[in-house]
């Protein structure tokens, strides 16, 4: 009986690490009991070996999830828009946000906030900025922390297929896999217009814009190598959702992201 219960249970695992009072790294998984211990080990190891610095604190939280509460969403279509350098990447990301329905000045201001460090003191945040798409106003209750999307993972049924096909594009790494799952959940959130992201890991320069009309559009260079700043912005249409319902979905609703797996080849973009 116990074995049966363990097999049918799903667990949310959240890792968060800090260094010198700042966000170092975090990660979230949603998985069955058999993978639980290994997942915790992997996340602790990631925190202790992180390129952003030495962890002063690592916290791992495990919460059992009611499998009946799981919401299934589709992975967004992934496409790479090649760019030679950061300036071009940021121009293309800005144009993509505008294409998704974000006014140019709202998108540009949010992008500047990511460039200079989105936390109040200019550092990185643990979660994402929430931005009102029409006014540009920041909506997250705690601007130092932001809103952390949690309780999501890849549907195990598509894991092998996704990894095999990402590999043929040279993209089978944890950054891509985890960002794709996060974007799948974010795009399923009520009132979501678009997401802008680039990593805060100094060695990882790629980022993306995700939006319902085109999916997950990635750009190899949205910052210079060595830059320890990065973050996420969620652009929200408040006429389509209450703030509490949105945050509740992002932080609490358990989500598995599944097929169909849709990956497109890289495109060279000619501007103008
Ligand atoms: N919820 C909300 N915000 C988050 C979350 C989350 N679960 N995880 C990270 N963030 C925010 C936080 O502000 C981090 O500082 C920032 O995003 C960057 O996090 O090649 O690696 O984990 O297609 O460093 C994207 C491109 C990589 C992948 C993103 O983000 C590709 C990445 P990182
Ligand atoms: Mg990071």
* Ligand 1: residue whose CA is nearest its atom 31: 176
- pLDDT tens per residue, range 1-18: 454 444 468 999 999 999
Paired residues of 268 in beta bridges: 82
* Secondary structure (3-state) at 58: strand
From the CA of 200, give the closest atom in ligand 1. Answer: 24
Paired residues of 194 in beta bridges: 235
Confidence of residue 255 (pLDDT cuts 50, 70, 90): very high
- Which residues, chain by chain, have CB under 5 Å from ion ligand 2? 200-201
Taking all residues of the chain, what is their mean pLDDT, rounded to a whole number? 95
* Ligand 1: residue whose CA is nearest its atom 14: 231
- Mutation to probe ligand 1, out of 126, 189, 233 (largest number of atoms < 8 A from CB): 126
* Secondary structure (3-state) at 126: coil
> Does the beta carbon of 81 sit less than 6 angstroms from any atom of ligand 1?
no
> Does the beta carbon of 223 sit less than 6 angstroms from any atom of ligand 1?
no
Q: Could you tell me the distance, in angstroms and rounded to a whole number, from the CA of residue 188 to the centre of ligand 2?
A: 23
Tell me the three-class secondary structure of 186-253, residue by residue.
Answer: HHCCCCEEEEEEECCCCCCCCEEEEECCCEEEEECCCCCCCCCCCEEEEEECCCCCCHHHHHHHHHHC
DSSP 141: S
Q: How far is CA 23 from CA 120, 127, 194, 250, 268, in A?
A: 13, 9, 24, 19, 35
The model carries a pTM of 0.96
Confidence of residue 271 (pLDDT cuts 50, 70, 90): confident
- Mutation to probe ligand 1, out of 119, 197, 207 (largest number of atoms < 8 A from CB): 197
């Amino acid at each position: 009986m116990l074995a049966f219960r363990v097999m049918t249970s799903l667990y949310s695992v959240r890792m968060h690490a800090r260094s010198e009072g700042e966000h170092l790294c975090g990660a979230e998984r949603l998985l069955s009991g058999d993978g639980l211990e290994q997942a915790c080990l992997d996340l602790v190891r990631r925190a202790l070996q992180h390129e952003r610095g030495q962890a002063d604190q690592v916290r791992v939280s495990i919460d059992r999830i009611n499998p009946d509460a799981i919401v299934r969403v589709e992975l967004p279509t992934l496409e790479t828009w090649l760019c030679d350098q950061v300036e071009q990447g940021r121009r293309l990301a800005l144009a993509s946000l505008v294409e998704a329905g974000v006014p140019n000045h709202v998108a540009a201001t949010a992008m500047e906030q990511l460039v200079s460090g989105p936390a109040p003191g200019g550092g990185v945040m643990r979660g994402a900025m929430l931005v009102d798409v029409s006014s540009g106003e920041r909506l997250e209750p705690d601007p130092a922390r932001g809103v952390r999307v949690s309780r999501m993972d890849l549907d195990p049924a598509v894991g092998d297929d996704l990894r095999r096909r990402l590999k043929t594009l040279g993209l089978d790494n944890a950054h891509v896999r985890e960002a794709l799952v996060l974007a799948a959940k974010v795009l399923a959130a009520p009132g979501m217009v678009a997401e802008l992201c680039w990593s805060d890991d100094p060695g990882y320069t790629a980022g993306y814009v995700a939006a319902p009309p085109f999916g997950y559009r990635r750009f190899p260079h949205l910052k210079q190598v060595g830059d320890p700043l990065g973050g996420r912005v969620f652009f929200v249409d408040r006429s389509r959702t209450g703030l509490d319902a949105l945050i509740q979905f992002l932080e609490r609703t358990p989500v598995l992201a599944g097929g169909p797996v849709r990956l497109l080849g890289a495109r060279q973009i000619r501007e103008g």
